[in-house]
Structure 1
Amino acid sequence: MTARPLAAALAVALLATLASPADAATKKKAATPKAPAAPTACTDFYGYANADWLKANPPTPGVASISALDQLRQRAHQQQIDLLNAAMASPSNDVQKLLGDFWASGLDEAAVERDGANPIAPLLGRINAIKRAKDIPPAIAALHQVGIPVAFNFSADVDLADTSRHVGYFTEGGIGLPDPAFYTRTDAETREVMDRYRAYVRRILLLTGTPEAQLDAQVRQVIDLETRIAQAGRPLAALRDPRANYAATPTANLAKQYKRLQLGDFLKAQGVTDDQVSMANAGLFTALDGYVASLPAEQWKAFLRWRVGDAMAPYLAKSWRDASFDFRDRVLGAQVSPKPRKEAVLDAINLAAGPMLGREYVARYLPAASRTQAETMAAQVRDALSAMVERDARLGAAAKSEARAKLAALKIEVGAPRRDLDYTVQPMGRGSFGSNMLIASTWRHREEMRRIGRGNADRRWDVLPQQPALTYDVPQNRLIVTAAMLQPPVFDPTQPAAALYGSYGALVGHELSHAFDTRGRLIDSKGEARDWWTPAEQAAWAATTGRIATQAGAKAYPQLTGVKVNGMLVADALVADQSGLEAAQAALQAAQPGASKETTQAFYSAWARLWPEQASVDAATARAAGSAYPPGMWRANLPLMNQPAFGTAFACKAGTAMQPKADQQVRLWP
């Protein structure tokens, strides 16, 4: 009974081996699945427009993701290195001389090793000279002056009561750990971090010259003082709301209220003469005022030495850098190995002398013609958006008036901030990277303090010109376009104007929509904080956003099986994308009435070519779960699917993937 099935199986196998080669080839060919059809403009415009990029940039093992905009950032990064190399070899002005010396001193690792801890010796000497309580506040003020905040933070930011100016903000900070909860939590993970932290404090104190016999005691003193400061502060989550962290305080009262902390003298040391500051947590400074008198001077000295060593360790000899990396980068940052020397030095220069590098970057890499064209095009998109808002049935007369006023008052700043800085700086040499870091940090702090006061709010941006960025500054009602952003794929002056409207113009429109969306509606045209939408207007906008969220939520997430795009998570970005695309299209039509089909095609193709990307499954999974931006495929395609003009330009029939039927499309603007 069991032999028959076996015999039958053998017979089938024998017949298979006797089949002709032609038959086998035919069967093999029939079993081979067909390759997917190449994307067309009407099936997947993202794949169609980016076919060459996707072919030239296949997924790479070990690389989480790469995109066209990543490549723009990489290009800007290399441009900075090229600029610094040129400044090092043959500087053509005083700022280039400073940058070239700074760069050369950082690249010379042998000189850094020879220099040891010499750069911070004067700072440590001043701290070691502290004798009594009254000596402590001047030492704190002096460290702030060189860019080393201790005990608290003091920085310039917009005055929420008058957005035309900046004030000085006294806030939490100036301790060694980023989250004050570390000092009080008792779970096992936190205890492990704190053990590693104590070991790091010990290493730094030893390097600053603390005798071995005193190390354990001084570590305890440092942790004790930082714990006291952390407990007087507020939880990290409470610091994220700008309104909750603003409290106008007259500066005239500070000297009397915080006599032992000498805050009046602190402001003078920073060069601040404004009549008010913000101090939302007065309790912290009351506590600090008390600690100056109640805690031993030796404890303060240990704390200040530690803060200097910790802040400067990345810029000193290898023993210091290793100590800093082992805790700050490996434990807190999960970094496996230190950055290459060149990258670390560039980061240091951007931190301490970023505006200097930005000044030279603009001069070298931003042609005047591109700057003028970018400013003109941004103004055209602004005007188109204003006209579209005027026709919008969702907004009432008062909201339309406010939106028009905001757009009319908009400041367009391209390349670099309008007002330059004072580049009077102590000369740098090539023998001491750490000393150069302190010189540059002192200059940067001085220029930051000069932002404080009336009429100084536009002294700089919160992004550097050499860093690619295109953003709307809500409090200052200004569009900021950095020099580094004005290069392909965002801005390519070799392309026809239509392409520039489709890429750069659409991104401008995206950002300008924030002047009156769910964020912008909270600041009016005068810079005052108030909600100028009615509940009915809010509901109408929310309904439109909901329709776009539903569209997105029906789309499969690229590279992931069974995962859809989180429509509600990415809806705001898609609304801004579509708003920007429609505004840029209107601006193009106004600039080139009756544009040809080829012109319109160039416009849409440029939009799609902003978004090509390759991502690993792990990277895509993480983004699908938490990113507020949709994957590149849908950033490109979804706004186009809602444009009847796109279907006309590429002859896509209604009901195709890229041209849904009219009742399934969502239009933002009439």
Structure 2
Amino acid sequence: MSNPITLPASLALASLVLAGCATSQAPQQAAATPTAPAPALAASASSAPVVSEGRSINLADIDRSVSPCEDFYQFSGGNWLKNNPLPSYATRWGPRSLLNDRTQLLLRQILEEAAANRGAVKGSNLQKVGDFYAAAMDTAAIEKAGIAPLKPELSRIAAIKDLKGLQEEIARQKMLQTDAFFRAGVDVDEKKSTQYTVSMYQGGLTLPDRDYYFKQDARTEGIRAAYRTYLTNMLALLGDDQATARKNAATIERIETRLAKASRTRVELRDPQANYNKLTVAELQKRYPTLNPQRLLAALQLGAAQEVVIGQPAFFDEVDKVLKTEPLADLKTYLRWHMARSVSQTLPAAFVNENFRYNQALTGAKQQLTRWKRTLAATDNYLGEAFGQLYVDKAFSPAAKQKALDMVANIKESMAEHIQTNTWMSAPTKAEALKKLNALRVKIGYPDKWKDYSALNISRESFLRNVLAAREWEYRQEVKKYGGPIDRNEWGMTPPTINAYYNPPMNEIVFPAGYLQPPFFDPEADDAVNYGAIGGVMGHEMTHGFDDQGRQYDAAGNLRDWWTTADGAEFTKRAAVVGRQYDAFSPLDSVHVNGKLTMGENLADFAGLTIVYGALQKQLQKQYGSNPRPVIDGFTPEQRFFLSWAQLRRSNIRPEALRQQILTDPHSPDQYRTIGPLMNMPQFYQAFGCQPGQKMVRPDDDRAKIW
């Protein structure tokens, strides 16, 4: 997994669909007549027009030795899984991986052309993108410079003599986004969404989750051993002798373990009410005197703030104790580590290789991504909209944007009908739900107003200095928002990103241009395929506004309970059925999906697919009326809809990466994202003629029924 872009903290609840999986389309297979009898519904539709070789699902990928009613994941893509082993550089491989590879070829062309253009107007986006990429690709210059570009920051840390200097360095590292100790920034106020607030949130760990510091199983012990080696070797590269490096590594682990122990779990972090704790600066100053929030805010150019939202007060209690009780030299060691770790990809190859060896232990990766792919990701991360403008000019048409908007409108109409006809929700709650749905903002493709990078200076002199400059510029742009009106044009993803999200405080769903291309969105494919593919994503994001987290925000994006007590209790009871179902899924020996951690994504998959199925029926009715609907490649529209959903979620994944996903990712493994919703849907049973007793058919008393 490449480093994701930094999203505002207000997107902490947002869905990142199939997060972290870079992917793409399998090569288009030639359509062929099915070699086994088509499932029941298609076989019975003898009066329907039959079409072959349409742009539909990939027939050669289907494993017809398996019944769709026994294991739809294997049926829909078993041959693809067998014929597409993981490349050595990947930890997960699926259709999005292939799309990502294809997209990267265009992005690489854009970047290489920009880098070759030495005559670009100074200060233009073209100059900045070209120079950033060129500096990052100049490995000879990076090796020659060594750690010299980092020395001003390391010297600043070394020069700390007292608590005041320590506090100033913590503020400096907040600006440079190193994640030392905690995260801080400006976000939409979740209980007053018409204004911005300052927020502070737990952080400060190197390992991917607090539990890695405490679990005693052999797998986790192995990862901690790799972590200690990583710390020691990186510190040696920074100039420590071996004995000092080992001593300093132990210091960092000790401090991080203290922070981990005070951190909330991933499941606890899913409670937005518990993570909203607004305190006055005077209250903060009294509670955290060693951290000295008043001085910290002034150094962060947020001295005007009178209140701060603290995500996890008990965590900051421990931060204050750490700053008070740990020796100054040890705190400097910790800050030095996080400064260097955060920019390791910009340093010479020895640092990059150590970073990769550590990630190998976490994910099982066999080979590092090539330099240009890593550099491309960095350019997208730090100059996302400057780069994105160049991409959109080549890759995204107004017609594609309009068709996507039309699909969203149809899905939104289906969602409204499901709310209105809901049998367990009371009229007052329905009215509020419809109000929220009607207020939902939809962003497609790219921003209406692009970011202005004029104040950011980028040159060909140093990759590392460019990264630090971009981070500081980004922080200063964020701080400027405080006290001003809400910027509703802001995007949390860049245009080439193959992903989407829902943002609760803004009540918006966002679909970058990178996602709106085959196989997820194909203007030439039939509606059943598009609705099962990108339509499923649209429904997923839309219904995030009504999952166990999203439902806690009202139409204006405020964290406010708008449900009647009875309706809230009924929703919780029905959602718990989904939680129990996913708790039972086990992709590896002794490893089970965490139904509470994945609850929001599972509900969005199930509810979204149900809503989108209704939208497809509306679209088919408009198109065909009472006439027979066409069978394409032996499958009815309903069957193609479910096949399209499933074929875009197939993936091969390394066991190490799968274990990490289950521990840290709110998304369930792909096979359960495929079959989990369908096992609850009578529409699926009908489409494939499934009968009670078959594995894809849940007994009525074990079936989730929400929308």
If the TM-score is normalised by the length of the shorter chain, which range does it land in?
0.7 to 0.9
> Could you tell me which of 594, 602, 614 is aligned with 1:582?
614
**Amino acid in structure 1 at the alignment position of 2:476:** R
The count of aligned residue pairs is 618
Q: Relative to structure 2, which stretch is displaced further, 400-409 or 625-634?
A: 625-634
CA distance, structure 2, for counterparts of residue 43 and residue 557 of structure 1: 33
Deviations for 1:296-344, whole angstroms, at most 9, x for unmatched residues? 4433333322222222222201222233333x31334443333222222
Structure 1 residues 596 and 635: CA distance shift in structure 2, 3 A? farther
Structure 1 residues 546 and 233: CA distance shift in structure 2, 3 A? closer
Deviations for 1:78-135, whole angstroms, at most 9, x for unmatched residues? 3433332332234877223222222222222222211211220110121222223221
> Could you tell me which of 55, 64, 75 is aligned with 2:102?
75
Q: Relative to structure 2, which stretch is displaced further, 350-359 or 602-611?
A: 602-611
Q: Would you say the 8 A contact 2:540–2:604 is kept in 1?
A: no
Deviations for 1:244-284, whole angstroms, at most 9, x for unmatched residues? 22211223554565454342232233333443222244455
Q: Would you say the 8 A contact 2:232–2:245 is kept in 1?
A: yes
Q: Would you say the 8 A contact 1:169–1:278 is kept in 2?
A: yes
Q: Would you say the 8 A contact 2:429–2:563 is kept in 1?
A: yes
Structure 1 spans left out of the alignment, 5+ residues: 1-34, 559-565
CA distance, structure 1, for counterparts of residue 643 and residue 217 of structure 2: 49
SS of match in other structure, 2:383:
helix
Q: Would you say the 8 A contact 1:502–1:585 is kept in 2?
A: no
Deviations for 1:177-213, whole angstroms, at most 9, x for unmatched residues? 4445666778877666555544433333333334667
> Could you tell me which of 300, 304, 315 is aligned with 2:346?
315
Task: Look at both structures and tell me which one has the larger radius of gyration over its CA atoms.
Answer: 1
Q: Which residue of 2 aligns with 1:306?
A: 337
SS of match in other structure, 1:480:
strand
CA distance, structure 1, for counterparts of residue 575 and residue 606 of structure 2: 11
> Could you tell me which of 144, 152, 158 is aligned with 1:122?
152
CA distance, structure 1, for counterparts of residue 680 and residue 167 of structure 2: 58
Structure 1 residues 167 and 188: CA distance shift in structure 2, 3 A? same
Q: Which residue of 2 aligns with 1:325?
A: 356
Q: Would you say the 8 A contact 1:521–1:533 is kept in 2?
A: no
Q: Would you say the 8 A contact 2:223–2:361 is kept in 1?
A: yes
**Amino acid in structure 1 at the alignment position of 2:108:** I
Kindly indicate whether residue 152 of structure 2 is the aligned counterpart of residue 142 of structure 1: no
Higher helix share: 1
Q: Which residue of 1 aligns with 2:114?
A: 87
Q: Relative to structure 2, which stretch is displaced further, 374-383 or 208-217?
A: 208-217
SS of match in other structure, 1:487:
coil
CA distance, structure 2, for counterparts of residue 494 and residue 396 of structure 1: 42
**Amino acid in structure 2 at the alignment position of 1:464:** T
Superposed displacement of residue 517, structure 1:
5.2
Superposed displacement of residue 367, structure 1:
1.4
Q: Would you say the 8 A contact 1:251–1:274 is kept in 2?
A: yes
Deviations for 1:323-378, whole angstroms, at most 9, x for unmatched residues? 3333x313344433332222222333344333443343333322123223322432
> Could you tell me which of 373, 377, 383 is aligned with 1:347?
377
Q: Would you say the 8 A contact 1:200–1:323 is kept in 2?
A: yes
Structure 1 residues 280 and 145: CA distance shift in structure 2, 3 A? closer
Q: Would you say the 8 A contact 1:156–1:167 is kept in 2?
A: yes
Kindly indicate whether residue 82 of structure 2 is the aligned counterpart of residue 62 of structure 1: no
Structure 1 residues 313 and 603: CA distance shift in structure 2, 3 A? same
Q: Would you say the 8 A contact 2:81–2:652 is kept in 1?
A: no
Q: Which residue of 1 aligns with 2:646?
A: 611
Q: TM-score, normalised by structure 2?
A: 0.71
Kindly indicate whether residue 392 of structure 2 is the aligned counterpart of residue 362 of structure 1: yes
CA distance, structure 2, for counterparts of residue 324 and residue 242 of structure 1: 33
**Amino acid in structure 2 at the alignment position of 1:84:** L
SS of match in other structure, 1:611:
helix
Q: Would you say the 8 A contact 1:147–1:441 is kept in 2?
A: yes
Q: Which has the higher contact order (CA 8 A, sep 6+)?
A: 2
Q: Which residue of 1 aligns with 2:301?
A: 271
Superposed displacement of residue 411, structure 1:
0.8
Superposed displacement of residue 452, structure 1:
5.1
CA distance, structure 1, for counterparts of residue 438 and residue 184 of structure 2: 34
Q: Would you say the 8 A contact 2:92–2:653 is kept in 1?
A: no
Superposed displacement of residue 139, structure 1:
1.6
Q: Relative to structure 2, which stretch is displaced further, 449-458 or 295-304?
A: 449-458
CA distance, structure 1, for counterparts of residue 691 and residue 227 of structure 2: 63
CA distance, structure 2, for counterparts of residue 490 and residue 443 of structure 1: 34
Superposed displacement of residue 65, structure 1:
7.6
Q: Which residue of 2 aligns with 1:28?
A: none
SS of match in other structure, 1:383:
helix
Kindly indicate whether residue 500 of structure 2 is the aligned counterpart of residue 477 of structure 1: no
Superposed displacement of residue 405, structure 1:
0.7
Q: Map residues 229-308 of structure 1 onto 2, 5 A cutoff.
A: 229-231=259-261, 233-234=263-264, 238-251=268-281, 253-254=283-284, 258-272=288-302, 273-286=304-317, 288-289=319-320, 292=323, 295-308=326-339
CA distance, structure 1, for counterparts of residue 155 and residue 179 of structure 2: 18
Structure 1 residues 371 and 340: CA distance shift in structure 2, 3 A? same
**Amino acid in structure 2 at the alignment position of 1:508:** M
Superposed displacement of residue 542, structure 1:
6.9
CA distance, structure 2, for counterparts of residue 198 and residue 634 of structure 1: 39
Structure 2 spans left out of the alignment, 5+ residues: 1-33, 46-51, 64-78, 588-594, 663-667
**Amino acid in structure 1 at the alignment position of 2:307:** Q
**Amino acid in structure 2 at the alignment position of 1:201:** L
Q: Which residue of 2 aligns with 1:32?
A: none
CA distance, structure 2, for counterparts of residue 308 and residue 115 of structure 1: 17
Kindly indicate whether residue 401 of structure 2 is the aligned counterpart of residue 371 of structure 1: yes
Alpha-carbon RMSD across the aligned residues, in angstroms, is 5.1
Q: Would you say the 8 A contact 2:263–2:315 is kept in 1?
A: yes
Q: Which residue of 2 aligns with 1:390?
A: 420
